[in-house]
Amino acid sequence: MSVIPSQVPQRLPAGSTTDPPYGPWADNGNGNPFFYHQFADDFDNALGSTGLYTISAGGAGSVAHTPGDGGLALFTTAGASGNFESIQLPAASFTAPQGALAGKKMFYIVRLQLSDVVNSAFIAGLANTSATPFAGLTDGIWFSKASASSQIVINVAAASSVKSFNLNANSYNLANGVNLDLSWYIDRYGNVQFSAGAQLVGWLPQSGTGASTSAPELYPSLPVLCPTGKLYSGNQPTTVASGYTLPTANLNVTLAVQTGAAAVKTMTADFHSAAKER
């Protein structure tokens, strides 16, 4: 078996920064860590009811660490149909870039896998704080899949008006026990760009030279050309609006799985993160 060598690290002896020349940390080579409000978790610690998250459940399941490379969180439902496990932060701490915040960029990314892609549902993204997320979210931007369906959708909701858009099924491989990366990005015009693939992050170069799909049975070694889809806000005269409205409510980092059959289902999450320009 041949091994593809990793890339040579880029050398930046002077460091790099997100600060402009007039920024307060402009000459700090480590960059200003507060240029973005960012939450990122590689699931190496702080799970549990007394840890980083508020855990909600429908049934006697669990969310706990599990052995594996990279830090993993294992969501395990109880065995009745409709049982779920969900995690959110203690408080909703993100707002979408709209109104006075318009023009700022915002990002979300997650890597997850399901034990049963047919008989389970999931939610991943930013949404209103809810102890029962599968009963209906009112605000946010999140990915989801319904039980008995292989179609992943991205949802944009404001004040209970939810607009859902299908991801191109050719852009992802949904299979039991196989990692799937999902990401969305709100650009300066309020457009929602989204991506799906087997490896959106890692050393494999996201250079735009690969295929627009990362389905491993078709393109086993090519990177994803991101984004794999885009929703237009209507703020650019040359585009047609997709019909969504960005939410004004405070949003919470949300990750959840639900069983669609009377059997225990699991979801394993490797990492998730949300970030927005200040």
Distance of CA 130 to the CA centre of its chain: 18
Residue with tokens 């990401």, as numbered in its chain: 183
Say what the pLDDT of residue 214 is: 47
Specify the amino acid at residue 200: L
* pLDDT tens profile 172-210: 889 999 999 999 999 999 999 999 988 788 655 444 444
Q: How far apart are CA 188 and CA 102, in angstroms?
A: 7
The torsion region of residue 43 among left (phi > 0), alpha (psi -120 to 50) and beta comes to left
Report the number of distinct structural domains present in the chain. 1
Percent of the chain whose pLDDT exceeds 70 = 88
Burial string for 192-228 (b: 16+ CB within 10 Å, else e) reads: bbbbbbbbbeeebebeeebbbbbbeeebeebbbbbbb
Domain that holds residue 102: 37-183+245-277
Confirm whether 110 is domain-assigned: yes
Q: How far apart are CA 267 and CA 180, in angstroms?
A: 11
* pLDDT tens profile 50-99: 678 999 999 889 999 999 999 999 999 999 999 999 999 999 999 999 98
Confirm whether 249 is domain-assigned: yes
Residues 127, 137 contacting (CB under 8 angstroms): yes
Confirm whether 167 is domain-assigned: yes
Confirm whether 147 is domain-assigned: yes
Tell me what the pLDDT averaged over the chain comes to: 88
Other C-beta atoms closer than 10 Å to the C-beta of 3 total 5
Confirm whether 254 is domain-assigned: yes
Q: How far apart are CA 83 and CA 260, in angstroms?
A: 8
Burial string for 54-67 (b: 16+ CB within 10 Å, else e) reads: ebbbbbebebeeee
Cut 0.85: pTM above it: yes
Confirm whether 111 is domain-assigned: yes
Q: What is the CATH number of the domain that holds 98?
A: 2.60.120.560
Confirm whether 21 is domain-assigned: no
Say what the pLDDT of residue 8 is: 75
Confirm whether 56 is domain-assigned: yes
